[in-house]
């Protein structure tokens, strides 16, 4: 049992765990930001689409 616990106290293993947690946190943050940007751009896209659709199609040559 002590042999297994010593493995988790090793500095190299701790560094690996830190990097895994840091990477997971950054990925979670990037997914959250991407989700917020998608919903924001969807609203703007719909507004622009409505504005363009409301304009008459006339050609004044």
Each domain of the chain, given as residue ranges in start order, spans 1-27
- What's the token pair of residue 11? 């500095």
pLDDT value of position 55: 86
Cα(35)–Cα(18) distance, integer angstroms? 26
Q: Treating both helix axes as pointing N-terminal to C-terminal, what angle do 2-9 and 11-54 enclose, rounded to 10 degrees? A: 60
pLDDT value of position 18: 85
Cα(14)–Cα(20) distance, integer angstroms? 10
Mean pLDDT by 10 residues, the chain (61 residues): 62 75 94 88 89 83 69
């Amino acid at each position: 049992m002590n042999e297994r616990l010593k493995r988790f106290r090793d500095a190299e293993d701790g560094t690996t765990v830190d990097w895994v947690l840091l990477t997971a946190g950054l990925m979670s943050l990037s997914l959250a930001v991407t989700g917020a940007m998608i919903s924001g751009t969807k609203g703007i896209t719909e507004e622009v689409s409505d504005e363009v659709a409301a304009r008459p199609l006339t050609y004044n040559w």
